[in-house]
Amino acid sequence: MSETLAQSGTAYEPTERTVPSRNRSRASYDRDLVHSILDEAYVCHLGFVRDGAPIVLPTLYGRVGERLYVHGSTGSRPARMADPGLPVCLTVTHVDGLVLARSAFHHSINYRSVVVHGTAHQVTDPDELREALDALVDQVVPGRSYDSRPANAKELAATAVLRLDLAEVSAKVRTGGPNDEPQDLDLPHWSGVVPVATRYGTPIPAETLAADVALPDYMTVL
Amino acid sequence: MSETLAQSGTAYEPTERTVPSRNRSRASYDRDLVHSILDEAYVCHLGFVRDGAPIVLPTLYGRVGERLYVHGSTGSRPARMADPGLPVCLTVTHVDGLVLARSAFHHSINYRSVVVHGTAHQVTDPDELREALDALVDQVVPGRSYDSRPANAKELAATAVLRLDLAEVSAKVRTGGPNDEPQDLDLPHWSGVVPVATRYGTPIPAETLAADVALPDYMTVL
């Protein structure tokens, strides 16, 4: 019951490390905003500490409600370090625009990012493992998990999945034009925003693909 | 002299933490490849350790030869932590394609990434500081630093720039189609690659921009 309430349009509780030291007006703890930023991406940057030093690796993730899943081979470093629990920071960033101001100082980027702090745990429950693997595939192409061969026992044994709960979370968003200084407005430099987006090209079938296997409907919306 | 030699098409020396624990064939230490991946991007994910836990933040960077620069307000956490030196991991990732295999297990991403380990130091030399700030602007739009007002004394005082030498560095690249299992080739699932690229839209002038300020030539190549 509390979980249902927690998921209905409420906000994450700010903590000392999710309140930024600057540009606080860009920070948000809104659950729907966080979910929307997470759901539009599939690659995150996962940070953890090894021998006292930070490591940041790009990796795929999937969201199921208030849980994120990342996966790797059972021999990968995060997987080997995740017992009994690995402190991580998982960050997802969309670049939406290049912000060019008259002054070098006010150049910026329009972006939406989510930063998740927490402890990742290895998934051992077989049902949760399968749900997580489906989520990882569907995060990249929604609907794809129903149209591919599920992992067999050997593949499952080779795959480690880590779970990270969405609890200590913040989003950060910058939108709009450059914040030029009033005294700079007459300078002869162009000022404005260059929109940035992700472009998906025409799918390239594998050379081995039979001619009668059509492009699935769920891929035409990419 | 050794610096000149080091920059002429050679490779970075692999270290224990730049040799991946899996998919080693995807790793590269080639200097030109590393530079090309870095030069195509402007947002990195910077990891550092605070109170024993990892923090990963998206931030802009610029490259000058074998040095990377990141910047922030003097009050930002990395800047405050960078005296006498902050261990960091700086990661840059390009997504080039979605790799859809017949099996869920062999789904993947075509990507190019660079991971830099090292200790970041605050830039205090005024000449290096200006060069770094120019590089940060030119990393986003090459040529832009010459066509904007340079930082004034007040702005310089508010800006902290950290330097990270390119020494402990690796690239990782995945290209090509899905690695389907031979026994999966007859399954009725589409298999192939969806190309992914960054799309730059039509620049949107600031509302305050005078009609006689044309779009600069260096922006038409974006």
Give the CATH number, domain containing residue A109.
2.30.110.10
A75-89, A167-181, B25-39, B174-188: range with lowest mean pLDDT: A75-89
Confidence of residue B30 (pLDDT cuts 50, 70, 90): very high
In order of B49, B88, B92, B143, B203, the CA distances from A56 in angstroms are 11, 9, 10, 30, 33
Closest partner CB to B45 (pick from A56, A98, A134): A56
CB contact under 8 A, B159 and A105: yes
User: DSSP H helical segments within B46-195, as ranges?
Assistant: 77-81, 126-140, 153-158
Whether the pLDDT of residue B5 is over 60: the answer is no
Residue written as tokens 């340079």?
B150
How many domains in chain A? 1
- Note the pLDDT of residue B21: 79
Residue B51: domain span? 2-179+214-219
Q: Is B89 helix (H, G, I), strand (E, B) or coil?
A: strand
Q: Which residue of B has its CA nearest to A107?
A: B137
* Phi and psi based region of residue A43 (left: phi greater than 0; alpha: psi -120 to 50; beta: remaining): beta
CB contact under 8 A, A55 and B109: no
Chain B nearest CA to A90, separation (Å) = 7
**Interatomic CA distance for residues A51 and A169, integer angstroms:** 25
- Note the pLDDT of residue A5: 44
CB contact under 8 A, B55 and A199: no
Whether the pLDDT of residue B163 is over 80: the answer is yes
Q: Is residue A87 part of a domain?
A: yes
- Note the pLDDT of residue A199: 95
Q: Between B109 and B222, where is the model more confident?
A: B109
Inter-residue contact A222 to A204 (CB < 8 Å): no
A48-52, B21-25, B157-161: range with lowest mean pLDDT: B21-25
Inter-residue contact B81 to B72 (CB < 8 Å): no
* Phi and psi based region of residue A52 (left: phi greater than 0; alpha: psi -120 to 50; beta: remaining): left
What is the residue-level pLDDT of chain A in tens, covering all 222 positions? Answer: 344 444 556 999 999 999 987 778 889 999 999 999 999 999 999 999 999 999 999 999 999 999 999 998 777 777 777 778 999 999 999 999 999 999 999 999 999 999 999 999 999 999 999 999 999 999 999 999 999 999 999 999 999 999 999 999 999 999 999 999 999 999 999 999 999 999 999 999 999 999 999 999 998 866
Average pLDDT value for residue range B84-98: 96
Q: Is residue B42 part of a domain?
A: yes
A32-46, A95-109, B66-80, B119-133: range with lowest mean pLDDT: B66-80
| Amino acid present at B148 | S
**Interatomic CA distance for residues B154 and A64, integer angstroms:** 47
- Note the pLDDT of residue B74: 77
Whether the pLDDT of residue B20 is over 50: the answer is yes
Q: Is B118 helix (H, G, I), strand (E, B) or coil?
A: strand
**Interatomic CA distance for residues A121 and A86, integer angstroms:** 7
CB contact under 8 A, A191 and B207: no
Whether the pLDDT of residue B1 is over 70: the answer is no
Average pLDDT value for residue range B202-209: 96
Closest partner CB to A189 (pick from B50, B75, B147): B147
Q: Chain B residues with CB inside 8 Å of A149's CB?
A: 102-105, 184, 187, 189
ipTM of the complex: 0.93
**Interatomic CA distance for residues A102 and B159, integer angstroms:** 17
Whether the pLDDT of residue B53 is over 70: the answer is yes
Q: How far apart are the first and last CA of chain A?
A: 36
Structure tokens at B120: 């970041």
Chain A nearest CA to B33, separation (Å) = 18
In terms of Cα–Cα distance, which of A42, A24, A10 is closest to A222? A42
- Note the pLDDT of residue B2: 40
- The C-alpha R_g of chain B, in whole angstroms, comes to 21
**Interatomic CA distance for residues B97 and B177, integer angstroms:** 9
Chain B nearest CA to A30, separation (Å) = 19
Q: Chain B residues with CB inside 8 Å of A218's CB?
A: none
- Single pTM value for the model: 0.94
Average pLDDT value for residue range B91-99: 98
Sequence-separated (6 or more) residues with CB below 8 Å from residue A80: A74
Q: Which residue of A has its CA nearest to B79?
A: A21
CB contact under 8 A, B199 and A197: yes
CB contact under 8 A, A90 and B188: no
Phi, psi values for residue A126, rounded to 5°: -60, -40
CB contact under 8 A, B109 and A140: yes
Sequence-separated (6 or more) residues with CB below 8 Å from residue B218: B141, B142, B143, B144, B147
Q: How far apart are the first and last CA of chain B?
A: 36
Q: Quick one: DSSP state of residue A133?
A: H
Q: Is residue A42 part of a domain?
A: yes
Closest partner CB to A200 (pick from B134, B148, B196): B196
**Interatomic CA distance for residues A91 and B55, integer angstroms:** 9
CA B30 to chain centre: 16
Structural element, H or E, at residue A127: helix A126-140
In terms of Cα–Cα distance, which of A41, A53, A185 is closest to B209? A185
**Interatomic CA distance for residues A158 and A26, integer angstroms:** 41
Q: Is residue B192 part of a domain?
A: no
- Note the pLDDT of residue B222: 65
A193-217 pLDDT, tens digit per residue, is 999 999 999 999 999 999 999 999 9
Q: Is residue A202 part of a domain?
A: no
What burial class does residue A75 get, using C-beta atoms within 10 Å of its C-beta: 0-12 exposed, 13-18 middle, 19+ buried? exposed
Q: Which of B22, B45, B49, B90 to mutate to test the interface with A (most CBs of A within 10 A)?
A: B45
Q: Is residue A201 part of a domain?
A: no
